[in-house]
Amino acid sequence: MSHFSNPDYIVIGSGSSGSTIAYRLGESGANQVLVLEFGGTDMGPFIQMPAALSYPMNMSRYDWGYKAEPEQNLNGRSIVCPRGKVIGGSSSINGMIYVRGNPGDYHHWAKNGATNWDYKDVLPYFKRMETSNGFLSEFRGDKGPLQVSRGKRDNPLHEAFVKASEEAGYTPTEDYNGYRQEGFGPADMTVWQGSRFSAAKAYLRPALKKKNVQLLTGALVDKIIFENQKAVGVQFTHKGQTKIIRVKKDIILSAGSINSPTILQRSGIGNGDLLKKLGISVLNHLPGVGENLQDHLEVYFQVKCLQPITLYKYLNPFSKLLIGMQWTFLKSGPGASNQFETLGFIRSDKNISYPDIQFHFLPVAIRYDGTAPSEGHGFQLHVGPMRSESRGYVRIQSSNPLQAPTIKFNYMSHESDFPNFRKALRLSREILNQKALEPFKGPEIQPGEEVTSDEGLDEFIKNNCESAYHPCGTCKIGQKEDPTTVVENNCKVKGVSNLYLADSSIFPRITNGNLNAPSIMTGEKASDYILGKSPLPPSDLVPFYHPNWENSQK
Query: Which residues have a catalytic role annotated?
Result: 470
- CA neighbor of 47 nearest in space, from 85, 19, 11, 80: 85
With a CB cutoff of 8 Å and minimum separation 6, the contacts of 405 are 66, 258, 261, 262, 290, 394, 395, 396, 397
CA distance 130 to 521: 10
Question: φ and ψ at 93, to 5 degrees?
Answer: -130, 5
CA distance 507 to 526: 13
CA distance 460 to 11: 43
CA distances (Å), origin 269, targets 233, 340, 466, 467? 15, 40, 32, 28
Burial classification of residue 308, based on how many CB atoms lie within 10 Å of its CB (0-12 exposed, 13-18 middle, 19 or more buried): exposed
H or E element at residue 107: helix 103-111
Beta pairing partners, 357 = 346, 385
Which own/partner contact pairs does 447-454 have at CB distance under 8 Å and 24+ positions apart? 447/299, 447/301, 454/418, 454/422
What is the DSSP track for 108-173?
Answer: HHHHTT-TT-SHHHHHHHHHHHEEESS---TTS-BSSSEEEEE----SHHHHHHHHHHHHTTPPB-
